[in-house]
């Protein structure tokens, strides 16, 4: 009977509510209510952080200068922290070492890529046109000066001109040239059409970026756990957020590779493949939990580029 006298306070409260002693053979799973509470708490933190930031950014957009760019990075960085996600950065930003505009080119496996890279890179996102119509997220994207592309043949030239105009004004762009998100286990081939904006009078640099989610519960990630982070197919954001926000010990690693001059490549298919290979190699190293370092883009032709069809 000695162990009954030392019942946890939680058991005693439930005994009073139930009108009798608990059956100690039926253990209480504290995780069953701690994890949902963690998700609710994080959702509230994100909401309380986002609402005032929308007003601040709307004001900054009306003012000259780059305060709106710096504030967008602060917003996304703290968004990640509110989500319980720690972001590790390896390498240096090209935008801090040159006066030329920079196009950051990253792999894409989840909607979480937005706050992760948005808190690291000082640029405007190039997003698919559907995002503009999403509740709340569309508003945040517009305030972040995102460029929406439809990839319809009739609007391609106009959208390219908008992006080139932003580059000419000194803005940087953030591209996800896979065209869709993946399961996080590989980097899909890059669409070379995204690289047409690199061929112009603006003379932008391109910096490849590898993003991998490599910690869950503070432990190295394995292939079986990648769906915790990956968002693809017909998944909806609400249920994905609910599952992810219940977890702890989350980490993403952003690997910034050496920037390159697009003029080194004879066409955009060769450019897109060389950048893809660098991003994919960096992501593979991170997924294998091996020490990673920024890579130099190799402009030599590769034997796995056959006809260029997969990268068109």
pLDDT of residue 168: 87
Tokens of 8: 């946890």
Residue 239: partners with Cβ closer than 8 Å, 6 or more residues away:
none
pLDDT of residue 184: 82
Buried b or exposed e, range 113-130, using 16+ CB within 10 angstroms: bbbbbbbbbbbbbbbeee
Residue 112 in any domain: the answer is yes
Q: Please, are residues 195 and 177 in contact by the beta-carbon 8 Å criterion?
A: yes
Residue 242 in any domain: the answer is yes
Which domain covers residue 50, as residue numbers? 34-293
- Where on the phi/psi map is residue 309: left (φ > 0), alpha (ψ -120 to 50), or beta? alpha
pLDDT of residue 254: 97
Residue 104 in any domain: the answer is yes
What are the helix (H) ranges across 196-253? 237-245
Q: Determine how many CB atoms are found less than 10 A away from the CB of residue 230.
A: 19
Residue 24 in any domain: the answer is no
Residue 303 in any domain: the answer is no
Q: Please, are residues 169 and 178 in contact by the beta-carbon 8 Å criterion?
A: no
Count of domains forming the chain: 1
Q: Please, are residues 107 and 190 in contact by the beta-carbon 8 Å criterion?
A: no
Chain centroid offset of residue 94 CA: 19
Q: Please, are residues 210 and 186 in contact by the beta-carbon 8 Å criterion?
A: no
Residue 9 in any domain: the answer is no
pLDDT of residue 99: 83
Residue 223 in any domain: the answer is yes
Its pTM stands at 0.83
CATH number of the domain within which 161 lies: 3.40.1130
pLDDT of residue 294: 94
Tokens of 254: 């952003």
**Average pLDDT per block of 10 residues along the chain, 312 residues long:** 47 49 49 87 96 94 91 95 96 85 94 93 86 77 84 69 86 89 87 82 87 94 86 85 94 96 90 95 94 85 43 33
pLDDT of residue 223: 83
Tokens of 125: 């996102």
Residue 4 in any domain: the answer is no
Q: Please, are residues 90 and 293 in contact by the beta-carbon 8 Å criterion?
A: yes
């Amino acid at each position: 009977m000695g162990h009954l006298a030392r019942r946890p306070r939680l058991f005693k409260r439930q005994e009073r509510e139930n009108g009798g002693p608990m059956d100690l053979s039926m253990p209480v799973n504290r995780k069953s209510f701690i994890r949902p509470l963690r998700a609710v708490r994080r959702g509230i933190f994100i909401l309380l952080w986002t609402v005032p930031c929308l007003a601040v950014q709307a004001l900054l957009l009306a003012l000259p200068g780059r305060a709106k760019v710096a504030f967008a990075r602060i917003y996304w960085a703290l968004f990640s922290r509110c989500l319980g996600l720690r972001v590790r950065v390896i390498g240096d930003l090209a935008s801090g070492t040159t006066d030329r505009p920079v196009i950051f080119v990253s792999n894409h496996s989840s909607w979480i890529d937005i706050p992760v890279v948005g808190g690291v890179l000082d640029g405007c996102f190039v997003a698919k046109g559907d995002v503009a119509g999403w509740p709340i997220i569309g508003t945040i994207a517009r305030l972040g000066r995102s460029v929406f592309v439809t990839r319809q043949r009739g609007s391609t030239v106009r959208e390219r001109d908008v992006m080139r105009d932003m580059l000419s004004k000194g803005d940087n762009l953030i591209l996800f040239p896979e065209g869709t998100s993946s399961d996080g286990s590989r980097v899909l081939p890059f669409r070379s059409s995204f690289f047409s904006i690199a061929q112009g009078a603006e003379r932008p640099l391109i910096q490849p970026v590898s993003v991998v989610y490599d910690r869950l519960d503070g432990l190295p990630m394995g292939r079986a756990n990648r769906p915790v982070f990956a968002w693809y197919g017909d998944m909806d954001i609400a249920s994905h957020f609910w599952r992810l926000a219940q977890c702890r010990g989350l980490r993403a690693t952003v690997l910034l590779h050496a920037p390159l001059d697009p003029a080194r490549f004879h066409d955009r298919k060769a450019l897109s493949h060389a950048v893809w290979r660098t991003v994919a190699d960096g992501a593979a190293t991170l997924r294998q939990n091996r020490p990673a370092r920024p890579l130099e883009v190799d402009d030599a032709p590769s034997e796995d580029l056959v006809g260029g069809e997969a990268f068109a």
